[in-house]
Structure 1
Amino acid sequence: MILLLFSFAGVNIFYQLTISTNWNDQILCLTIFMMCLEQAKMATVDFTNIRISKKYLRDPQLDNFLIITSITITMELLGFYLVSFSKDWSIAIILISLIFFNSFAKINILVLKIISIECSGIFQRIPVLTANYLGLGIMILKMFNFFPIIMSLILLNMTLVYITIKYSSNLLPNNINN
């Protein structure tokens, strides 16, 4: 179900990308589209991990994580659906939702051979929060017409770098000693 909500948003974002007449809007739509794909994957992973973990673990942190994840995804979807009305506010809301999640989600759920909950405090999330706040600051500068195309390109590049780092680390061997 959650994937369906992100899919409709993604189709709308892609449509906005194709009908946009200026570079700035096209760059923002491409950025938002990539964010939508990534957040759809993360929403699916998070909800799956929560569902699996709740079957085997009785931990109140899971309920907290579910609430925070649900609020975050609702905010993200709002941001993705707003793209038809304002690309600037769309990205701003998405970034605020990521700041919310990274500020209040205190655990990571690891579902491998065993299910474990890893406590993750605010200090472990400082690099991610820094990137989120930096992105929001750049978006605010863009909203005030401070070199809007350059700010849009910076946001696109930040998104590309994030996705590249995140998924290229999956290609690296888990144990260097092997």
Structure 2
Amino acid sequence: MGSAPGSAPLWVALCFWPAGLGLLSQGLQPVPLPQRLLALALGLMLMEQSHMARVDVQQALAAWKFAPTPQLTRFMTVLAVTILGELMGFYLAAGGWLGLGMITILLSLLGFNLFANGRFEGYMFQPAGPRSRLGVIAIDLVALGLALLWVVGWGRLAVAGVLLTVSLAYGVAKAYAYATGRSSLAQPTSPAPAAYASRGEALAIHIPNAAQQHPQPAQQNR
């Protein structure tokens, strides 16, 4: 018996979690400190990306039921490729290839911001090109630069420390936003709210893409 369509977003999110356990395990192993810090930073990032995978898939499926269009079909294809790329990156990182995994994740997010052709306003899909995401694209490129520094072995402790610090700060800020009822990530009670920010903005803070999920116009940026 297959799972109900409404459970698809949850199953997508759960696909991330075995990799999260692997990253947590690395963070607790007696390996060099930079590796432990980066593994923990990626683990925190994974938590956010799994949440955003659920949100994006939920919105896309709801929009598809409301008004299936060729533009939405293209967007869903880009979204699926992005999530698969993220999963590949997280599992590479969980397997010990932290640098390669980080680059794979960032390339997936950069690809989303370059090729996604729309955004959601509530569950309505509206056309939007990469020009609306130039800030996030720039941050993706900065993050890729840091990932390359890690791969070539330059300043690994500094790179990992910065990423973990930013991830922790973001997590605290987000928890505070939830606690005070000001987070734009709250689950909508009707198909109308004009926006959860999207996943592109999510990595914009975590490593260290920097701009996600703050109450701002609905815009699909990973």
1:8-31 C-alpha deviation (Å, 9 max, x unpaired): 111121122122422101111111
| Alpha-carbon contact 1:76-1:97 (below 8 Å) kept | yes
After superposition, what is the alpha-carbon deviation per residue over 1:127-177, rounded to whole angstroms, capped at 9, x for unaligned? 111111101101111211211111222233444566667774972797xxx
1:10 matched to 2:20: yes
- For 1:132, the equivalent position in structure 2 comes to 140
Gaps of 5+ in 1: none
Q: Say if 1:31 and 1:93 are closer, same or farther in 2 by CA, change over 3 A.
A: same
Number of equivalent positions: 171
| Pair 135,162 (structure 1): closer, same or farther in 2 beyond 3 Å | farther
Q: Is the alpha carbon distance of 1:20 and 1:127 closer, same or farther for their aligned partners in structure 2, counting shifts above 3 Å?
A: farther
Which of 90, 99, 102 is matched with 2:113 structurally? 102
| Structure 2 counterparts to residues 21-60 of structure 1, below 5 A | 21-60=31-70
- Code of the residue aligned with 1:6 in structure 2: it is F
* Long gaps (5+) in structure 2: 1-10, 185-214, 216-222
1:73-111 CA-to-partner distances (Å, cap 9, x unmatched) read: 111101111122311111111111110111111211232
Aligned position for 1:154: 162
1:5 is matched by which residue type in structure 2?
C
CA RMSD of aligned residues (A): 2.3
- Percent sequence identity is 27
Partner of 2:125: 117
d(CA) in 2 for partners of 1:11 and 1:139? 22
The 1:108/1:166 distance shift into structure 2, 3 A limit, reads farther
Q: 1:32 is matched by which residue type in structure 2?
A: L
Find the residue that maps to 1:146 and give its secondary structure.
Answer: coil
Contact 2:14–2:50 (CA under 8 A) maintained in structure 1: no
Q: Contact 2:27–2:39 (CA<8 Å) still a contact in 1?
A: yes
- Code of the aligned partner of 1:100: G
Measure, in 1, the Cα distance between the counterparts of 2:20 and 2:164: 16
TM, length-normalised to structure 2: 0.69
Measured against aligned partners, the alpha-carbon deviations of 1:15-61 in whole angstroms (never above 9, x if no partner) come to 22122422101111111101111111111111111111111103211
Residue 143 of structure 1: which of 151, 174, 177 is its match?
151
TM value normalised by structure 1: 0.85
Q: Matches of 1:107 and 1:165 in 2, distance apart?
A: 28
Distance change (3 Å), C-alpha of 1:47 and 1:60: same
**Equivalent-residue separation in structure 2 for 1:145 and 1:70 (angstroms):** 32
